[in-house]
Each structure stands twice: as structure tokens, then as C-alpha cells.
Chain A
Amino acid sequence: MQITVEFSGGLETAFDGNKKHVLDVPEGSSVNWLLHHMVETLMPDHKREEGKNIFLQDESVRPGVLVLINDSDWELEGEDQYILQPRDVIIFASTLHGG
């Protein structure tokens, strides 16, 4: 099934620089599975070590990144245990601090 992953707040620089990706994922996959799948498939080899640290910490998203499942905070949807559904849109929003 297909899902869409989007980056906001500059997190795409940890990956290949694209803000939007359409991914084919197996049915029944959790968001936790998706996090690791993204590191393995969307990060260029030479950036993986650093990119992983920008994206993940202690096996979940790093502090300062909000995960939004279909325009809703993942805290309202079961966090990383949420089971992905066809056509889901998952946004990884890194907080901004400038002003």
C-alpha cells in the first residue's frame, strides 16, 4: 500500500533533500517500523550515520520533531505504535526557533 511522507522545518536535509516522498509499505506496518525504514531507504549512504542522529534518538524521533499523522499529533493516534493505513500522510515537523 502507498503512504506519503513529508518533511517540514528543514528535516529533509537529513535525507535526500526532497520534502515529499511516496512510499510503498507492507500492510500492518507501524510508524516505528517506518522510522527505521526511512533511515534505510531514504537516507543516502554517506549521510546515514549523521542523518540518523538528526532524525532519531533512543530508537524514536529525536526531541524537537513532531510527528503528524493525517494532520494530527501522533500523541493522539498511539504514537509509534500506530498502524499505517493506505494513503496516510505522515509529516515530520522539526520545530523552528528563529524569530
Chain B
Amino acid sequence: MDRSDSEKTDVLPMFKQEYGRYGRQMLVPEFGISGQLDLRSKRILVVGAGGLGSPAIQYLAGAGIGHITIIDDDTVEESNLHRQTIHAGNVNVPKSESAAEFVGKLNPCISVTPMVVRLSPSNSFSVFEGHDLVLDCTDGPAVRYLINDTAVLSGIPVVSASALKTEGQLSIYNYNGGPCYRCLFPIPPPADAVQTCGDGGIMGPVVGMMGMSQAMEAIKLLTGVYSESFTPFLMLYSAYNFPPWKSVKVRKRQKTCAACGDVPRISRQLIETGQVDYSEFCGSPSQVLLGEEHRITPEEYSKIVSTKHILLDVRERPQFDITSFPRSINIPWSELKHKEELDVQVDGSPVYVVCRYGNDSQNAVDKLQKLGIPSKDIKGGLYAWAKNVDEKFPIY
């Protein structure tokens, strides 16, 4: 080694191994070695290691973010794996630990901390502390408001995404004059209008695309792409539309915002003492709760299953197509609730109503009562049937 080489080695800003590992992205002019050194010095917090978090974490780890903290208190279920491929072979393992295991295997040059806890108003500020950026990879409005408020009060930007069925959305909040989540959505949507991936369904690559886009936006933000001028935007993805991508301009920071406005009404103290009630703020879906006389257990139903009766299945059509009882009649709750009469010949037979988990079936029995048709709901739905009576019945 001649003199000039050894001098250079003494002042290398990265380990030699990292040059090889990150070479392909350092070749990209928009990124370069300065981008690499930026990422190397940054700490990211990923809230949620599910459909969005899994791909985001994979690509952020690959890109060489200095430190990644992953917080999620959930464990891996088989129904996650079509989209959360980071968790291969890890059913029943806590998601944050499973994801951290992947990060350790993929890139030993960075550090990772898994946290098997739920983000809550009492821990959010200490969890956020010391991070340059937060990725909101969660799945409900209440936690999204908590992440927003904590990020605003901690001065940390958020790259936020969401997905359902065939569509996804992505935005950057609390950054460079742009809005926070509350600027765009000062009031949460009615709880009945909110669907989860477990109810509405989700295509794996749709949520994967959104998580990966979060990783790309995180890299851009952390390497200063938006530091001089930032036009707040919302990215919309719709897999079955043409063209599938659209990016729209959204409002700037709102002076009247409760979190980031000129006179904020939300403070760390109000959050930590539980005075900002996130679950109450976002509400819960309306649900009829029937008296026992209108209900029957799956075990009781199994005894009368061969007697003459009508079984009404009120799940949506795609669910009914997946699996159903022989001779059951499908009228989805979303249609039944608008009906003024039932186009089914009841002629004195007892009517039983079933759904997936036993919620909509109670709404349906209540509705049938109003149409003058007495009926009973099967408690706990097909899920309870499969668990308590017929273990061969497929649940999804």
C-alpha cells in the first residue's frame, strides 16, 4: 500500500465493507456518497411492522439507515403472510422481533431495536425521543392522531401511509411548512366509515407498494431533497385504475390547527395525563347488542341444524363465496339494511342469522324484527362455529 492509500484509509468516513454494500445506490447521482453518509447518521422509528412496516423496514435496512427502532405489540399470524413477507417462518413470533431478526440478517452494518409494546399516550414521547423521522405504518385513526400529535410536539416529521383493498395513500406530515395530519383531518371520520384490512381485505402488493414508497420518501427526506422547498402532497394509488398513480397538492400548515397551529390546544401534558382521549375522539362503530332471548350458541345450533329452518348469512358476497353452509341464503348486511321487505319465503320456519364474527348478525336480527320477522343470531358467527363445533370448517 503506498502512502496516499493509507492516508485515505485513515480518514474514510465509512467502513470499507460499506462501500461495497452501498455501491449501487451511491452510483445514483441524486443520492451519491453524501446521501449514504446522511442515512448512516440517522435514526428512524417505524410504528407498526405489518403490511406497510414490513416492506418499509426491509428497504430502509437495505439502504443503510444508521438505526431503526421497530415498535409493534402484535404477533405474526398466518393471515398476515401474503403481504408481510418479512415474517417468513415466524408465525406466533412478536412482529417487532421478527422484523428485527430480518434486519440483523440483511445488514449487520446498522443497528436495530425491537419494542414489543403498544404505542400509547403514556409512552409515545419517550419512544419518539432521539429519532430523526417517524414512519406511520399503523392501521387505525386513533393511533394515527397519537403519532401525529407526539411528532408535532417533538418536532419530528412523519411519513405516513395507509392502504385498503386495492388502494393506498401516502403523505408527509409536520415538515417544512407542510400540514400535520390534523391540519388535513381536524375531525376524525365517523367510526362506521373506517374499515380495517381484516374486514375490507387488502391486496399484498398494494400495501407493499405503499410501504416501499414510504421507504423511498424517507430516504429523500433524510437526504435533504425536500429541505429547500417542499410542496405538501398526497399520493394516491389505485391498482385497478388507469393510470394507477396520482399525486395531488394539499394545504399548508393550518394556523387554526389544534396540534401545530398558532395557538395549539394539545400539549404533551394533556396527552400524557390522558386528557386527550384518542379512542373517544375516534369513537367505535355502532353495534346492536341483542338480549339472550334473540341469540343461540353454535353448540345449540348444531343440535337443530338438521331440522327445518332458514339460515340467513349476512356476510358480503366475496366472503360468502369463500365458504358457507350448504342451503344458507346470502343477503349481505349492506343490502339487508336498506330493504323494506325480505324477498325470502319464511312460512313459519325459524330463522337463524349468521355472519363472520357475530356482529352484523345482531344488527340483522334487529332489522328483521322491525320487518316483522322473528329470528335469532348465532353467537360469535362462523368463527365461533369453527372453533367450538366443527374444526374442519375453514376460517379466513
Q: Which residues of A contact B (CB under 8 A)?
A: 8-10, 13, 19, 46-47, 50, 53-54, 62-66, 68, 71-73, 75-76, 91, 93-99
Contacts and interface: CB of A to CB of B under 8 A. Distances in A.
Nearest to A54: B193
Contacts of B248: 68, 71-73, 91
A19 B207 contact: no
Interface in B110-165: 137-141, 144, 161-165
Given A95-B189, A98-B200, A66 B52 contact: no
Q: Chain B binding site: helix, strand, loop or mixed by DSSP?
A: mixed
B250 A98 contact: no
Nearest to A48: B338
Contact of A73 (B140, B189, B251): B251
Contacts of B51: 98-99
Contact of B249 (A46, A64, A76, A93): A76
Contacts of B210: 99
B184 interface: yes
Q: Chain A binding site: helix, strand, loop or mixed by DSSP?
A: mixed
Contacts of B250: 66, 73, 75-76
B234 A66 contact: yes
Given A63-B186, A98-B162, 16 more contacts: A9-B164, A10-B164, A10-B167, A64-B187, A64-B188, A64-B190, A66-B184, A71-B247, A71-B248, A76-B249, A95-B169, A96-B163, A96-B168, A97-B194, A98-B163, A98-B197
B338 A47 contact: yes
A99 B50 contact: yes
Contacts of A98: 51, 139, 162-164, 195-197, 200, 202, 207
A8 B338 contact: no
Given A8-B167, A46-B338, A50-B337, A99 B197 contact: yes
B162 A50 contact: no
A76 B231 CA distance: 12
A9 B168 CA distance: 8
B225 to A, nearest CB: 21
Given A54-B193, A97-B194, A19 B241 contact: yes
A76 B254 CA distance: 12
A76 to B, nearest CB: 6
Given A8-B167, A63-B190, A97 B249 contact: no
B48 interface: yes
A8 B249 contact: no
7 contacts: A50-B337, A63-B187, A71-B246, A73-B248, A93-B236, A96-B162, A97-B195
A13 to B, nearest CB: 8
B238 interface: yes
B48 A64 contact: no
Nearest to A96: B162
A37 B52 CA distance: 38
A39 to B, nearest CB: 16
Contacts of A75: 250-251
Interface string B227-247: 000000010101001000011
Central interface residue in A13, A54, A96, by most chain B CB within 10 Å? A96
Contacts of A47: 338
A62 to B, nearest CB: 7
B226 interface: no
Nearest to A46: B338
Contacts of B334: 13
A99 B236 contact: no
B325 interface: no
A65 B186 CA distance: 11
Interface string B253-275: 00000000000000000000000
A99 B189 contact: no
B193 A94 contact: yes
B19 interface: no
A10 to B, nearest CB: 7
Central interface residue in B163, B193, B248, by most chain A CB within 10 Å? B193
B233 to A, nearest CB: 9
B393 interface: no
Given A10-B195, A99-B51, A63 B185 contact: yes
Given A19-B241, A97-B141, A99-B163, A9 B169 contact: yes
Central interface residue in A8, A72, A99, by most chain B CB within 10 Å? A99
A83 to B, nearest CB: 19
A72 to B, nearest CB: 5
A89 B197 CA distance: 29
Contacts of B162: 95-99
